Chains A and B, each alone.
Chain A
Amino acid sequence: MFEVACDASIPVRVTLNGVAREGLASPRMQLADFLRHVLRAYGTHVGCEHGICGACTVLIDGRAVRACMIFAIQVDGMDIRTVEGLAASPDELTALQAAFKKHHALQCGFCTPGILMSCTQFLAEHPAPTEAEIREMLTGHLCRCTGYKGIVEAIKEVAAAKSGA
């Protein structure tokens, strides 16, 4: 059986935004901290650390998951996508990011990386979502700046453009 002592650090290998990465993690290191402090990928934000605020949401094997509620050691060998992996280059925006900018769907931007990752899975599975479905998806994220209206508008616009409406 695979066992790691509490004071040991072991190599964890992931594919981060399409690139093979490796770093050391002790058993209790959250994935969110591994991304930020070990792999130096600061796009993923850490808020409440108990699964409520949604700021740290990343895609693990394509699914939106809280990076504060899973340990780095658990995702060894998995595919991780974060906000850094959405646009093709740092000076470009995806359609969703551009729509967020246009509709003022962020102000301080702390919650935005997590919301964008949830939207990525959500829009892949719901190409033509209703506003109720969008708002249901957003219950998993806290935004204290926008009142969510701009976020909903941005998601609706991108979905409509993609589904050819």
Chain B
Amino acid sequence: MKPAPFAYVRPLSIAEAVAALGEHGSAGRIIAGGQSLGAMLNMRLVAPKVLVDINRIAGANSIEKDRTGIRVGATVRQSDALRHTDLNATPLIKEALPHVGHFQTRNRGTICGSIAHADPSAELPLALLVSDGAVELRSKRGTRIVAADDFLVSTLTTARREDEMVVATLWPSAPARSGCAFDEFAIRGGDYAIVAAAAQVSLDAPGNITSIRVGLAGVGERPILIDTSQLIGDKPSDGVAEEIMDRARRSIEPISDMQASAEYRTHLAGIFARRVFDAAIRRAQEGASRV
């Protein structure tokens, strides 16, 4: 199908983009890579009056690194991020990216766009949540930083106000002796995940768990974190891994749809939570994350 008619504006700075959003409100819609929005426009699932194309904003495609982590600008393409060595400091994003769409859609799709879109099965919102990352929002009123857990509200719904633009996502650096892993189950390579799981763990010198974040996507209206606070201080073992599997299954109430039954999703959630936990622990023990 073809999109409903829309007007087109092309800001050349973030100030111009937020001015356009301020002017058009809910009738305006930002397009970055367009790999989700393009399909929704073509199918007329959305029909904005004005499309705000941010692709030619100078500097919006930059990746900046400091001691605390990396800042990924609004138009950084997924394929560029995958190749960028600065992202080795935040390995979970690199673990997640090969699962995002296909190389042909990663060539155009952006990191920030996927997170702003907030599909409940998408990989990057889950990776940001498990990384304990945040979203930088800007409007004419100013800039605010919203933690991923607060930003991701529900299916295709975020804490972004209608005059705000996602100008960057913020990914904290992984601490020493840490490991991460990402895995998912999908019918076809590149499809949205039926269940996706991510883990980020760190260990102290004797090998006990000092921090642990394990999350799931595809099992509810938004990606979730499993409550693992009681496992801090434990030594990784089969028992701990089984505890993760149980907790994963108890933390979710998935729906049944044409792709998978709720029962099957619950089964997969346990398997994949354990799988990413085991892989993250192994990498932390090896002293460095793969990448």
Q: Which of B85-105 contact A (CB under 8 A)?
A: 101-105
Q: In whole Å, how far is A48's beta carbon from the nearest beta carbon of chain B?
A: 9
Q: Any chain A CB within 8 A of the CB of B172?
A: no
Pair A69/B6 contact, Cβ less than 8 Å: no
* Interface residue? B256 (CB, 8 A): no
- Contacting residues, chain A, for B9 (C-beta < 8 A): 1-4
How far, in angstroms, from A66 to B20 measured CA to CA in the complex? 27
Q: Which of A71-112 contact B (CB under 8 A)?
A: 71, 73-74
Assembled-state Cα–Cα distance A70/B51 (Å): 12
Judge whether A51 is part of the interface by a CB distance below 8 angstroms: yes
Chain A residues with Cβ below 8 Å from B103 are 64, 118, 122, 136-137, 140
Residues of A within 8 A of B8 (CB): 3-4, 6, 27, 71, 73
From the candidates B12, B34, B108, name the one contacting A1 in the complex (CB within 8 A): B12
Smallest Cβ-Cβ distance to A33: which chain B residue: B2
Alpha-carbon gap, A149 to B242, bound state (A):
40
A25: nearest chain-B partner, CB-CB: B8
With both chains docked as a complex, state the minimum distance between the C-beta of B271 and any C-beta of chain A, in angstroms.
22
Listed residue (B16, B20, B104, B108) with the most chain A CB atoms within 10 angstroms of its CB: B104
In the bound complex, do residue A140 and residue B104 qualify as a contact, i.e. CB atoms below 8 Å apart?
Answer: yes
B20 contacts across to A, CB distance below 8 A:
1
Q: Mark B184-207, 1 if CB is under 8 A from A, else 0.
A: 000011100000000000000000
Q: Which residues of the other chain, A, contact B55 by a CB distance below 8 angstroms?
A: 74
User: Which residues of chain B are within 8 angstroms of A140 by Cβ–Cβ distance?
Assistant: 101-105, 190
Interface segment, one of B35-43, B272-280, B282-290? B35-43
Shortest CB distance B23–A (Å): 10
Tell me the count of chain B residues lying within 8 A, CB to CB, of chain A.
Answer: 38
Which of A1, A57, A118, A139 contacts B190, CB < 8 Å? A139
B3 at the interface (CB under 8 A from A): yes
Residue of A nearest to B105 (CB): A51
User: Which single member of B12, B19, B51 contacts A27 (CB below 8 Å)?
Assistant: B51
Are A7's CB and B5's CB within 8 A? yes
With the chains together, A57 CA to B5 CA distance in Å?
A: 24
Dominant SS among interface residues on chain A:
mixed
Residues in B neighbouring A49, C-beta threshold 8 A:
1-2, 39, 42
For chain B, residues 17 to 35, give those with C-beta under 8 angstroms from any C-beta of chain A. 19-20, 31, 34-35
Instruction: Closest B residue to A3 by CB, please name it.
Output: B9
Residues of B within 8 A of A65 (CB): 104, 107-108
Q: A51-B105, A64-B104, A137-B103 are in contact. Are A69 and B5 (CB under 8 A)?
A: no
B4 within 8 A of A: yes
Contact A70 B108 (CB under 8 A): yes
State which of A6, A122, A137 has its C-beta within 8 Å of the C-beta of B5. A6
The verdict on B11 contacting chain A, using a C-beta distance below 8 Å, is yes
CA distance A1 to B51 in the complex (A): 13
In the bound complex, do residue B7 and residue A69 qualify as a contact, i.e. CB atoms below 8 Å apart? no
B246 close to A (CB within 8 Å): no
Does B10 interact with chain A (Cβ within 8 Å)?
yes
Task: Answer whether residue B132 sits at the interface, using C-beta atoms and an 8 A cutoff.
Answer: no
Roughly how many angstroms separate A70 CA and B8 CA in the complex, as a whole number? 13
Chain A residues near B4 (CB-CB < 8 A): 28
Within 8 Å CB of A63, what residues of B?
Answer: 79, 107-108
B-side contacts of A118, CB under 8 Å? 103-104
Decide if B104 touches A57 in the complex (CB within 8 Å).
yes
Instruction: Mark contacts of A47-66 with chain B using CB atoms, 8 A cut-off: 1 yes-contact digit, 0 otherwise.
Output: 00111001001000001111
How long is the Cα–Cα vector from A1 to B101 in the complex, in angstroms? 32
Query: Cβ of B189 and Cβ of A136 under 8 Å apart?
Result: yes
Is A27 touching B5 in the complex (CB atoms < 8 A)? yes
In the bound complex, what is the Cα–Cα distance between A135 and B10 (angstroms)? 37
Chain A's nearest CB lies how many Å from the CB of B12?
Answer: 7
Q: Are B190 and A69 in contact (CB-based, < 8 A)?
A: no
C-alpha spacing A66/B102, complex, angstroms: 11
Given contacts A28-B3, A118-B103, 7 further A-B contacts (CB under 8 A): A4-B9, A5-B7, A63-B79, A64-B104, A69-B105, A74-B31, A140-B103
Q: Measuring CB to CB, which residues of chain B are less than 8 angstroms from any residue of chain A?
A: 1-12, 16, 19-20, 31, 34-35, 38-39, 41-43, 49, 51, 53, 55, 79, 101-105, 107-108, 188-190
